[in-house]
Amino acid sequence: MDHEQAEWNRFCRAIESVKDGLILFCTGAGISKASGIPTFRGSDIEAVWNRSPMELGTYAFFEETPVGHWEWFLGRFDSYFERQPNPAHYAVTALERWQQARGGRMTVITQNIDLLHDRAGTKELIHIHGDMGHARCTRYGCENGAPKGKIRFDSLDFSAFRAEPRLEHIPRCSACGSLVRIHALLFDEYYTSHRDYRMRDAMNATQEARLMVFVGTSFSVGVTAAMLESAHLRQVPAFSLNPEVETGDWEGVGVMNLQVNAEEALPRLCEAVGASM
């Protein structure tokens, strides 16, 4: 048996062993690559953050030039509304059903705002960075703004802005008249800035999990660091599925990386453990 097969078998056994506990998945941009969505910090030529993330992806940039910020967001993310889940998303949903049928639990923390897990039917889902299905008012305390409020994105009319990007064409909050912003965590913001990010729930899950699986993430954001620390301190088995990371790169912090594509590996995992897709 070669080394890669031995690692795969170890991964399957670990999943099967958590019969009555919590399996925690954390998904990053890599899981949506097969749906036609570029990764964020990977080697893709279309990677979102290849161009000045600290300029485009901050609230400071929005305050400085809301027109430029919305042009960037719509130009980059508008097409994502048409994207569909790929086999990796459906496999995660199948694994959730399978784990629940065994009397266990499974929670998915996704760093992605693309809503593909939702479309694939995953239920126990934490949108740790928000979601593109909503916007929100920029005025803190407004019923449509942080820390609790939001607005359905499809209720906003961006047609005038798309035709002619001007400040007066950015939709306004129906409650107070302030500008609207994307409902996503920006680089200069905190996880505690909106209740939808559910940071407390995510941290509770990291403390309860008996197994962690990271899919398509580069471990470059705060929530993954907290999960890694929890797994290491509690000696919880942790696996990463990422074709761009060399096998074994994360073993020093207790993570076994499998150099595989999520859209191939997760359906294969379902077949191995008997989770019907």
β-pair type (130-137, 151-152): antiparallel
When divided into structural domains, the chain yields a total of 2
Task: Identify whether residues 148 and 265 lie together within a single domain.
Answer: no
Query: Quick one: pLDDT band at residue 4, thresholds 50, 70, 90?
Result: confident
Residue ranges of alpha helices (H) inside 128-261 are 159-163, 199-208, 222-234
The structure tokens listed for 47 are: 């990677």
Query: Is 226 within the bounds of a domain?
Result: yes
Residue 13: which domain range?
A: 1-37+85-129+194-277
The pLDDT tens digits for 67-117 are 999 998 998 888 888 999 999 999 999 999 999 999 999 999 999 999 999
Per-residue pLDDT band for 47 (boundaries 50, 70, 90) equals very low
- 231-248 pLDDT, tens digit each: 888 999 999 999 876 655
pTM: 0.92
How far apart CA 199 and CA 157 sit, in angstroms, is: 31
Predicted pLDDT at 204: 96
Whether the predicted pLDDT of 39 surpasses 90: no
* 33 lies in the same domain as 155: no
Q: Which of 117, 129, 134, 183 is catalytic?
A: 129
Q: Are residues 76 and 55 in the same domain?
A: yes
Active site residue 194: no
